[in-house]
Amino acid sequence: MDAPKRSKTRQVLCGSVAIGGDAPVSVQSMTTTRTEDASATLAQIHELADAGCEIIRCAVPSARALDGFEAICSASPLPVVADIHFDYKLAIEAARRGAAALRINPGNIGSSDRVDAVIDAAKAAEIPIRIGVNAGSLDKAVDQLRDLELSEKLVRSCASFAAHFQERGFHDIVLSAKAHDVPTTLATYRALAALLPEIPLHVGVTEAGTLRQGTVKNACGVGILLEEGIGNTMRLSLTADPIEEVKVAWDLLSALGMRRRSPELVSCPTCGRCHVDLIPIAEEVSRRLESLPAPISVAVMGCIVNGPGEARTADIGLASGRGEAVLFAHGEIIRTVEESRMVDELISEIEVRFR
Task: Please tell me the predicted confidence (pLDDT) of residue 158.
Answer: 92
- pLDDT, tens only, 104-163: 998 888 888 999 999 999 999 999 999 999 877 777 777 777 888 889 989 999 999 999
- Rounded CA-CA distance 153/167 in Å is 21
- pLDDT, tens only, 181-191: 999 999 999 99
* Bridge partners (DSSP) listed for residue 300: 267, 318
- Rounded CA-CA distance 31/48 in Å is 9
Q: How far is CA 218 from the centre of its chain?
A: 10
Task: Please tell me the predicted confidence (pLDDT) of residue 136.
Answer: 74
Question: Is the CB of residue 307 less than 8 Å from the CB of residue 299?
Answer: yes
Domain limits, CATH 3.30.413.10, in the chain: 264-354
Q: How confident is the model at residue 339 (pLDDT cuts 50, 70, 90)?
A: confident
Task: Give the fold, CATH level 3, of 12-255.
Answer: TIM Barrel (3.20.20)
* Element (DSSP H or E) covering residue 251: helix 242-255
* DSSP assignment letter at 279: H
Task: Please tell me the predicted confidence (pLDDT) of residue 260.
Answer: 87
Q: How confident is the model at residue 311 (pLDDT cuts 50, 70, 90)?
A: confident
Task: Please tell me the predicted confidence (pLDDT) of residue 332.
Answer: 87
Name the 3-class secondary structure at 343.
helix
Mean pLDDT computed over every residue of the chain: 91
Cα 333 to Cα 91, 352, 353: the distances in Å are 60, 16, 15
In the predicted model, what is the mean pLDDT of residues 234-247?
A: 95
Task: Please tell me the predicted confidence (pLDDT) of residue 1.
Answer: 53
pTM of the model: 0.90
| Residue of 352 and 308 predicted with greater confidence | 352
| Residue of 141 and 210 predicted with greater confidence | 210
* DSSP assignment letter at 105: -
Half-sphere exposure of 258 (CA within 13 A, CB side): 27
**Cβ-count burial 44-54 (b if 16+ within 10 Å, e if not):** bbeebbebbbb
pLDDT over 90 (residue 320): no
Task: Give the fold, CATH level 3, of 264-354.
Answer: Sulfite Reductase Hemoprotein; domain 1 (3.30.413)
Burial class (CB in 10 A: 0-12, 13-18, 19+), 304: buried
pLDDT over 70 (residue 2): no
- Rounded CA-CA distance 92/20 in Å is 25
Task: Please tell me the predicted confidence (pLDDT) of residue 68.
Answer: 97
Domain limits, CATH 3.20.20.20, in the chain: 12-255
